[in-house]
Amino acid sequence: MPSDSLVQSVLRSLDILEMVARSESGLTLQDIASALDVASPTAHNLARTLVARGYLQKTPRPVRYRLGAACFDLVQAQAHRDLLRRAGEQVGALGRLFPQASVIFAEAIGAEVVVVVRTAPDRTGVIQHPHHPPLLPYSAAVSLAYQAFCTPGEREAFRAHHAFEESGAHYWGTPQALDAFLAEARRLGYVHLPVGAAAETLRAGAPVFSPPGVLAGMIGLSMSATEAAAAEADEVLRELTAAAARVGSGVASTLTQGAQQHADGGGSEDTGEDAGRRSRGRRLDGPL
């Protein structure tokens, strides 16, 4: 494409982003104007527009321009799509391996654990992207896997949102009993519910970690105890944890790096509108 047919303001904006990305501590307005060989008002208008859209961040005293949250959001969005693609592949593979099982991939959205990928026996081989309400916090295997493998701060916030006395006491009795179960889950590397020879259903959840060791989601599986016995429960659990590891091994580290860099540099406010929409409604009283 001939260079004279390109939009000059867009080219200059991209040049600014590339220069700022390569700088160690951001650029001044004069740096930008000199590099682009434009007048200061022109450089100011370009930078101001990028700041307004979140692609640049303006720091005070001294005034410098750094990459804004929107740049990292783009990278994270791509990494998240890759995460969901890999999760779908592994959920589908588990569904084919255990055709009588329900298999899900769930994420923590705000203070809720929500199913985002699913396959079920009634639609074998079909990967679904449901809009389920949140899972129960203290009885769903993947919700417990989240509590077992998230950070202490995340776990504290989760429990502050979901009062144990209201939602968990009837199942666990005391917080100490739950904490003991979660500690054992961390030792094993997965959650397995319910515990006991009389259990009618095998329910399990395994963590998916991104390369920096950050919890990116959970894979869950449920099937009848009879079917689990036929397939050998230990083998089911091994396949589940292996699938979770395969998802995590391919997740781009940018899924968490962008958020950390944004936090280090300030950035724009996240309204959480998507999370709010995904988290509204009653909780899903399902087996996982």
Q: Mean pLDDT of successive 10-residue segments in the chain (288 residues)?
A: 79 96 94 96 96 95 93 88 93 93 94 94 83 90 97 95 95 96 97 70 94 91 83 90 91 52 44 37 47
Same domain, 49 and 105: no
Question: Quick check: is 287 in a domain?
Answer: no
Residue 268 shares a structural domain with residue 130: yes
pTM of the model: 0.74
E strand or H helix that includes residue 113: strand 112-119
Same domain membership, residue 113 and residue 59: no
* Rounded distance between C-alpha atoms, residue 256 and residue 216, angstroms: 9
DSSP 4: G
Q: Which helix (H) or strand (E) holds 19?
A: helix 8-22
Q: Residue 90 domain-assigned?
A: yes
- Considering the domain architecture, whether residues 30 and 144 belong to the same structural domain is answered as no
Residues 62 and 148 in one domain: no
Residue 285 lies in a domain: no
Output the pLDDT for position 270: 39
Nearest CA among 69, 87, 67, 65 for reference residue 77: 69
- Tokens 């939009």: give the residue: 7
Domain presence at residue 288? no
Evaluate whether 219 touches 87 at the Cβ level (below 8 Å). Answer: yes
Q: What is the CATH number of the domain that holds 49?
A: 1.10.10.10
Residues 77 and 39 in one domain: no
Boundary (domain end) residue, out of 18, 45, 67: 67
Q: Are residues 136 and 28 in the same domain?
A: no
Q: If you search the block for the tokens 């700041």, which residue do you land on?
A: 51
Q: Which of 26, 46, 67 is the last residue of a domain?
A: 67
118 DSSP 8-state letter: E
Of 12, 27, 18, nearest to 57 by C-alpha is 27
Residue 34 makes CB contacts below 8 A (sequence gap 6+) with none
What is the spatial distance between Cα 172 and Cα 162, in angstroms, rounded to a whole number?
Answer: 14
How many structural domains does the chain have?
Answer: 2
Task: Provide the pLDDT for residue 1.
Answer: 52
- Provide the residue range defining the domain that includes 205: 73-279
The one-letter amino acid at 47: A
Q: Which residue, of 35, 67, 99, is where some domain finishes?
A: 67
Q: Are residues 194 and 78 in the same domain?
A: yes
What's the CA gap between 116 and 111, in Å, rounded?
15
pLDDT, residue 169, reads: 95
Q: Report the chain's terminal Cα–Cα distance, integer Å.
A: 54
Q: Is residue 164 part of a domain?
A: yes
Q: What CATH code is carried by the domain that includes residue 137?
A: 3.30.450.40
